[in-house]
Amino acid sequence: MKVKISLIAIVIAGLMVAGACGSSIGSIGSSSSPAYSAGQSFGGSILSLYSNYKQNGRIDLSNANTLLQISQLAMTTNTVKENLKNKDFYPSFVQGAVFGSQQKVNQGNIGTIIDTLTGLNLGGIVESATSGTIDSSTASSVTSALSSIFNVIGK
């Protein structure tokens, strides 16, 4: 399965650059902290992807919004990976994720969601999209992981 993408690739590349520039962690613990903001973006992306999945019955990797949300997940998942040992980061990130997902993500399921996403190469799909095609194995691994997450948050 190859998906032709052009304008989407430019948007995603811009988001990757913007995300790379703003990944430092400053004051942690408030709703304006970078950790909270990253969590809010993470939760919002999951909620958007889940809502589209529920509405359409599938994960549409040719949809610009889907790729945008996956790109945001890739950036925030990378932020989580970089801060796994930072004990102050995680609680604020979780609070932001719960808020951003309208409580679809919660204390009980966030560990599973993070484990699923940190074990996945979300950057691979973003890179594939920027090159103009998404190969079937990348698409399959991403859709499988997202479906797994949707099963967790849909309970």
Taking residue 88's Cβ as centre, other Cβ atoms within 10 Å add up to: 14
pLDDT tens digits for 30-81? 566 899 999 999 999 999 999 999 999 999 888 888 888 998 998 899 899 8
Mean pLDDT value of segment 106-127: 85
What's the token pair of residue 25? Answer: 């962690």
Identify whether the C-beta of residue 36 lies closer than 8 Å to the C-beta of residue 93: yes
**Residue 147: is its pLDDT beyond 80?**
yes
Q: How far apart are CA 144 and CA 95, in angstroms?
A: 26
SS3 33: coil
Question: pTM of the prediction?
Answer: 0.78
- Which value, in Å, is the radius of gyration of the alpha carbons in the chain? 15
pLDDT given for residue 125 in this prediction: 72
Hunting for tokens 């009980």 — which residue is that? 108
In terms of C-beta density within 10 A (0-12 exposed, 13-18 middle, 19 or more buried), how is residue 86 classed?
A: middle
